[in-house]
Amino acid sequence: MNPSISEKIHLTKEHCTELLRMMMLIRRFEERCAELYGEQKIRGFLHLYIGEEANAVGVMQALTPEDAVVATYREHGHALARGLPLPEVMAEMYGKATGSSRGRGGSMHIFNAERRFYGGNAIVGGGLPLAVGLALADKMNGRPRITCCFFGEGAAAEGEFHESMNLAALWKLPVLFVCENNLYAMGTSLERSESETDICQHAKSYRIAAGSVDGMDVVAVEVAARRAVQAVRDGNGPQFLETQTYRFRAHSMFDPELYRDKAEVEKWKERCPIKRFREWILATGTLHESEIAAIEIAIADEVENAVKFAESSPWEPEADLTRDVLTPIKRSALT
Amino acid sequence: MSVLRKVTYRDAVREAIQDAMHRDASVFLMGEDVGRYGGAYGCSKGLLAEFGEDRIRDTPLAEAGFTGAGIGAALGGMRPIVEIMTVNFSLLALDQIVNTAAAIRHMSGGQFSVPLVIRMATGAGRQLAAQHSHSLENWYAHVPGIKVVAPATLADARGMLWTALQDPDPVVMFEHAMLYNDEGEIAAEGDLSMPIEGAAIRRPGTDCSIITYGGSLKKALAAAAELAGENFNCEVIDLRALRPLDGKTILASVEKTHRAVIVDEGWRTGSLAAEISALIMEGAFFALDAPVARVCSAEVPIPYARHLEISATPQVAGIITAVRGVLRR
Ligand SMILES: Cc1ncc(C[n+]2csc(CCOP(=O)(O)OP(=O)(O)O)c2C)c(N)n1
Ligand SMILES: [Mg+2]
């Protein structure tokens, strides 16, 4: 790890602990979700973020609670790193009434207004125009906050990606676009889907400043995100950050992974962001093995408590099926 | 006696594609993950090895782009099969389908036809929530210039594609996601092609017509079987084609049974069920002994939780209640 980088973001013991803890929490949460999927407690599509934790955790460090976050269907990590309460996220996985979306969304559609977490969008590329609009509203209201939009490299082929890049650049909107390039869109590899495989070039062609970072290195991601976010806050318009990463698991639980080599997956697993950061933390003496073990135990407890909460939570009554289709209008507001 | 063999709906779809590719060199399959991945629902597994990347063409995530390219390729003399993963994603290509594919024949004064087949999965039942579960067949059935089909049986899944490919105009084909694992028997040899127009009576009856299509057919048949135990003898009509609708078969059935229940997984408001109900009212009003009843999806984006998804969509119990309702009047 680059020492000049570690200086810049003050890698205090507290900060390192938090970075490691959050990545480990996301990992544990999702491993548990995979088990619960096997038990059919969680259904539908389940897209795991395992291997990619450093991206959400690193980028979130650069955001304030006032900023907005837009994510995709692979958003458990983003939701947790954004500070959504673990029990409500787990309850949503179960489809319970206490879930973050009252059980209407499930794994792919986690939302939380208080945290300004705008989902949870399962239409590839669908989140980008939304982020542009959130940023437009901020700019029109003179609010000093930004919108951070996460999406996969597969989205770069969609028209909505290109339309959003242009709008954001044209109107100099306060958006940070974070492209999590894990090299595959379902079974289609980047070189089989893009004539220009350097994703940053796409952003640059709209005159958006763009850079890449090792998405398996949480500190590097944080540093790059802080720089990009500062540029957005300074009024330089949208910024684009490509995080180079890899998903260790299948695209979803239905994917037999016929399109990639086991050896390739194993090679990337050596770069596991949690393993790497943990080794660095131990080597530098920032934390001791026993302290990490204590974090692990605390996380396991937290996840089990979330499971218990989800298990014991009620189902939404069927009578309430059609609630929240439209917003109730207060009578007084009409007069 | 004809020889039968066991297949799944998924197999039937795959064989239909495979067979068409063998019979006509201008046929090719194009869509997201149809090649290496084998299709989002596994319908094209193995076809890449057999036909190569040119004809089993993986596309980037670009629904408007590759659907439009399918239209252009059809104009250019090819016979493309465009696969869109689900009807929800087809909305990104709606412009190309409605504004170009459906319109070009007429707005060019009959100079250009678009012999294109667009296949897509539709429907709820897998707890995939509001961006993967909708039934928007009626959006397409609304549009002149295209034909819309919904194979509900193995024989239709195997047989409609070839006929659709022979058609000079765009055909949109809906495969309900809950059908892919269905297993049954189809003819092992001979001409397996099936017409892409006309409804089929899947169960003859005299007391009430249950009119449905796609993923709801098995629910309608299950309801009819249960009602038979109460001595209600229902006729079940599988629409097969959603545009054009086979009014003749529908009206003849209602003339006979004097009662109709329409089962449609689309939302009730502005549904195909509404269209069929109007068609019955216009054509068989005086034959009716009871108002037409509809069993549709509740007016809500399809929710994730299992019990809510079930209560949002047509189920056997709801069909039975609706049929009893019209029979007791
Ligand atoms: C418009 C649209 N088309 C297709 C899909 C099906 N689909 C879901 S995820 C996915 C791959 C997306 O890849 P990428 O953007 O790289 O994100 P990743 O899954 O790798 O995180 C596809 C094709 C979809 N959800 N939305
Ligand atoms: Mg990807």
CATH value at residue A263: 3.40.50.970
Q: What is the pLDDT of residue A2?
A: 47
User: What ligand is nearest to the CA atom of residue A73?
Assistant: 1
CB B54 within 8 A of CB B28: yes
- Is residue B218's pLDDT more than 70? yes
**B133-172: pLDDT as tens digits:** 999 999 999 999 999 999 999 999 999 999 999 999 999 9
Q: Locate the ligand 1 atom nearest the alpha carbon of residue A180 and give its number.
A: 21
In a domain, A269, yes or no: yes
Give the CATH number for residue B313.
Answer: 3.40.50.920
Paired strand residues for B176: B122
In a domain, A175, yes or no: yes
- Is residue B189's pLDDT more than 60? yes
Q: Does B154 lie in the same domain as B20? A: yes
Q: What is the pLDDT of residue A4?
A: 44
Q: What is the pLDDT of residue B212?
A: 99
Q: Does B207 lie in the same domain as B181? A: no
Q: Does B143 lie in the same domain as B67? A: yes
In a domain, A3, yes or no: no
- Is residue B278's pLDDT more than 80? yes
Domain count, chain A: 1
Question: Would residue B106 show up in a list of annotated catalytic residues for this protein?
Answer: no
Strand intervals (E) in chain B:
4-8, 27-31, 56-58, 79-86, 117-122, 147-149, 171-176, 183-187, 200-203, 208-212, 234-238, 241-243, 260-267, 293-297
In a domain, A279, yes or no: yes
Average confidence (pLDDT) over B85-92: 98
- Is residue B44's pLDDT more than 80? yes
Q: What is the pLDDT of residue A333?
A: 59
Q: Does B64 lie in the same domain as B98? A: yes
Domain boundary among B187, B216, B239: B187
Q: Does B251 lie in the same domain as B117? A: no
User: What ligand is nearest to the CA atom of residue A185?
Assistant: 1
Most B CBs within 10 A among A39, A195, A322, A324, hence the mutation to make, goes to A322
The answer to whether the CB atoms of B304 and A318 lie below 8 A apart is no
Task: Name the stretches of chain A with pLDDT < 70.
Answer: 1-8, 333-335
Closest to A12 in 3D by CA, of A281, A271, A214, A192: A281
Q: What is the pLDDT of residue B1?
A: 57
Q: Does B225 lie in the same domain as B112? A: no
Q: Does B205 lie in the same domain as B183? A: no
Question: Would residue B142 show up in a list of annotated catalytic residues for this protein?
Answer: no
Residue closest by Cα to atom 25 of ligand 1: A123
Paired strand residues for B119: B83, B173
Q: What is the pLDDT of residue B143?
A: 98
CA distance A283 to B47: 51
CB B171 within 8 A of CB B149: yes
Q: Does B106 lie in the same domain as B208? A: no
Domain boundaries, position A282: 13-334
Q: Does B223 lie in the same domain as B314? A: yes
First to last CA, chain A: 63
CA of A154: which chain B residue's CA is closest? Answer: B61
pTM for this one?
Answer: 0.96
Of A249-263, B279-293, B298-312, which gets the smallest average pLDDT? Answer: A249-263
Residue closest by Cα to atom 13 of ligand 1: A185
Q: Does B133 lie in the same domain as B64? A: yes
CB neighbour list of residue A163: distance below 8 Å, 6 or more residues apart: A129
Identity of the amino acid at B144: P
In a domain, A273, yes or no: yes
Pinpoint the alpha helices (H) of B109-153. 137-141
Is B21 strand, coil or helix?
Answer: helix
Q: What is the pLDDT of residue B159?
A: 98
In a domain, A5, yes or no: no
Domain count, chain B: 2
In a domain, B88, yes or no: yes
Domain boundaries, position B304: 200-327
Q: Please state the φ and ψ torsions of residue A20, each to the nearest 5 degrees.
A: -65, -45
Ligand 1 contacts CB of residue B32 (under 6 A)? yes
Q: Does B84 lie in the same domain as B19? A: yes
CB B32 within 8 A of CB B69: no
As a whole number of Å, the CA-based R_g of chain B is: 20
CA distance A100 to A95: 9
CB A55 within 8 A of CB A215: yes
Average confidence (pLDDT) over B180-190: 95
CB < 8 Å to A122, chain B: 129, 131-132
The answer to whether the CB atoms of B129 and A106 lie below 8 A apart is yes
Residue with tokens 């040899």: B189
Q: What is the pLDDT of residue A10?
A: 86
Helix axes A289-312, A86-94, angle to 10 degrees: 50
In a domain, B24, yes or no: yes
In a domain, B194, yes or no: no
Strands B79-86 and B117-122, bridge-based pairing: parallel
Helix (H) or strand (E) holding B308: helix B306-312
CB neighbour list of residue A70: distance below 8 Å, 6 or more residues apart: A118, A119, A121, A127, A128, A130, A131, A134, A147, A148, A149, A150
**B89-131: pLDDT as tens digits:** 999 999 999 999 999 999 999 999 999 999 999 999 999 999 9
B244: Cα within 13 Å, side-chain hemisphere:
9
Q: Does B177 lie in the same domain as B208? A: no
In a domain, A291, yes or no: yes
Domain boundary among B118, B153, B187: B187
Closest to B145 in 3D by CA, of B107, B195, B198, B175: B107
CA distance B316 to B220: 7
Strand intervals (E) in B42-170:
56-58, 79-86, 117-122, 147-149
Looking at B132, B134, B176, B258, which residue is catalytic? Answer: B132
Domain boundary among B187, B219, B253: B187
In a domain, A210, yes or no: yes
CA of B90: which chain A residue's CA is closest? Answer: A123
Residue closest by Cα to atom 5 of ligand 1: A124
